[in-house]
Protein backbone atom coordinates (compact mmCIF):
# COMPACT_ATOMS: atom_id res chain seq x y z
CA UNK A 1 0.00 0.00 0.00
CA UNK A 2 2.67 2.46 1.02
CA UNK A 3 4.77 1.72 -2.04
CA UNK A 4 1.81 2.45 -4.29
CA UNK A 5 1.27 5.84 -2.69
CA UNK A 6 4.93 6.70 -3.09
CA UNK A 7 4.78 5.77 -6.75
CA UNK A 8 1.69 7.90 -7.28
CA UNK A 9 3.44 10.82 -5.63
CA UNK A 10 6.38 10.28 -7.94
CA UNK A 11 4.20 10.29 -11.05
CA UNK A 12 2.36 13.34 -9.80
CA UNK A 13 5.59 15.25 -9.25
CA UNK A 14 6.90 14.20 -12.65
CA UNK A 15 3.74 15.36 -14.41
CA UNK A 16 3.88 18.62 -12.45
CA UNK A 17 7.42 19.19 -13.72
CA UNK A 18 6.34 18.20 -17.23
CA UNK A 19 3.46 20.66 -17.32
CA UNK A 20 5.67 23.36 -15.85
CA UNK A 21 8.19 22.85 -18.64
CA UNK A 22 5.39 22.91 -21.21
CA UNK A 23 4.19 26.21 -19.79
CA UNK A 24 7.70 27.64 -19.91
CA UNK A 25 8.13 26.51 -23.51
CA UNK A 26 4.80 28.11 -24.37
CA UNK A 27 5.77 31.40 -22.74
CA UNK A 28 9.12 31.23 -24.52
CA UNK A 29 7.55 30.66 -27.92
CA UNK A 30 5.13 33.52 -27.35
CA UNK A 31 8.00 35.83 -26.47
CA UNK A 32 10.03 34.66 -29.43
CA UNK A 33 7.03 35.17 -31.73
CA UNK A 34 7.56 31.74 -33.22
CA UNK A 35 5.82 31.31 -36.54
CA UNK A 36 3.93 28.15 -37.44
CA UNK A 37 6.52 27.37 -40.09
CA UNK A 38 9.29 27.22 -37.55
CA UNK A 39 10.57 23.85 -36.48
CA UNK A 40 8.59 22.35 -33.61
CA UNK A 41 10.33 22.52 -30.24
CA UNK A 42 11.72 19.14 -29.22
CA UNK A 43 9.06 18.58 -26.55
CA UNK A 44 6.26 18.82 -29.09
CA UNK A 45 7.72 15.91 -31.06
CA UNK A 46 7.97 13.78 -27.92
CA UNK A 47 4.22 13.05 -27.86
Number of domains in the chain: 1
pTM for this entry: 0.43
pLDDT per residue over 5-38, tens digit each?
Answer: 888 888 889 999 999 999 998 888 777 665 555 5
Measured distance CA(18)–CA(22) in Å, rounded:
6
Long-range contacts of 12-16 (CB under 8 A, 24+ apart): none
The domain in which residue 10 lies consists of 2-46
pLDDT of residue 41: 64
pLDDT of residue 40: 63
Task: Centre a 10 Å sphere on the Cβ of residue 8 and count the other Cβ atoms it contains.
Answer: 10
Looking at the chain, how many residues does it have?
Answer: 47
Amino acid sequence: MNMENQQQDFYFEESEKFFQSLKEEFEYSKNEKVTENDELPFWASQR
